[in-house]
Chains A and B, each alone.
Chain A
Amino acid sequence: GENVEQHPSTLSVQEGDSAVIKCTYSDSASNYFPWYKQELGKRPQLIIDIRSNVGEKKDQRIAVTLNKTAKHFSLHITETQPEDSAVYFCAASITGSGNTGKLIFGQGTTLQVKP
């Protein structure tokens, strides 16, 4: 089955710096890669996602890149702010007719943005 590895497990940056979180997946059939942000005591919230027919996607200060050949994808946060501090999860799934769409998650990255 699918396996998703996420690095680093913790990341500390200064406010205004960039943060990068990387994930690798094992199943080459995976075609949907979302990222979730989870604040302390809250539920995970979808922040951005990418499908396998796209190499990069941006939404204001966040971007995700996908390298299908190497089977890895990354989350980039620019101009970090203290409110970006949270746990971030990557995930992978196989979507489409006949598939379950079940997400397999990485282990999570705790991002701390220091003021």
Chain B
Amino acid sequence: NAGVTQTPKFRVLKTGQSMTLLCAQDMNHEYMYWYRQDPGMGLRLIHYSVGEGTTAKGEVPDGYNVSRLKKQNFLLGLESAAPSQTSVYFCASSISRGSVDYGYTFGSGTRLTVV
């Protein structure tokens, strides 16, 4: 049982390049989330999904797209990276059907630098 796995762990992009971050969970969780963490700003929600095939915008969605084609995977895409997207990205998942445990399980994070 690996929990929540994020790939890659580190990445350096040039401005204008694109990339996809992968989040995979093996806990049969219904909900998945993408956050970015910047110093002094806490964790800000980018996009989230409440089930396979569904996605919704969070607090800071601009410049990002997401897809959840399979229940266990949640992909975060950057179409044209900008230096302002330099950040640490965390994926999280929560809640199984029939459970009342709403706590998140976080992935280990992806440190992205855009130069």
Contacts and interface: CB of A to CB of B under 8 A. Distances in A.
10 closest A-B pairs (Cβ-Cβ)?
A43-B106, A105-B43, A105-B42, A107-B42, A46-B103, A95-B102, A108-B42, A101-B102, A32-B102, A43-B108
Nearest to A46: B103
A6 interface: yes
Given A89-B42, A89-B43, A103 B59 contact: no
Given A44-B90, A44-B106, A102 B44 contact: no
A1 B58 CA distance: 10
A104 B102 contact: no
A102 B55 CA distance: 12
B42 A100 contact: no
Interface string A25-53: 00000001010100000111110010000
B102 A43 contact: no
SS class of chain A's interface: helix, strand, loop or mixed? loop
Given A43-B90, A43-B107, A93 B48 contact: no
Interface residues of B, number: 24
A19 B52 CA distance: 42
Contacts of A45: 106
B45 interface: yes
Interface in B67-115: 90, 94-95, 102-104, 106-109
Given A43-B90, A101-B102, A1 B42 contact: no
Contacts of B103: 34, 46, 49
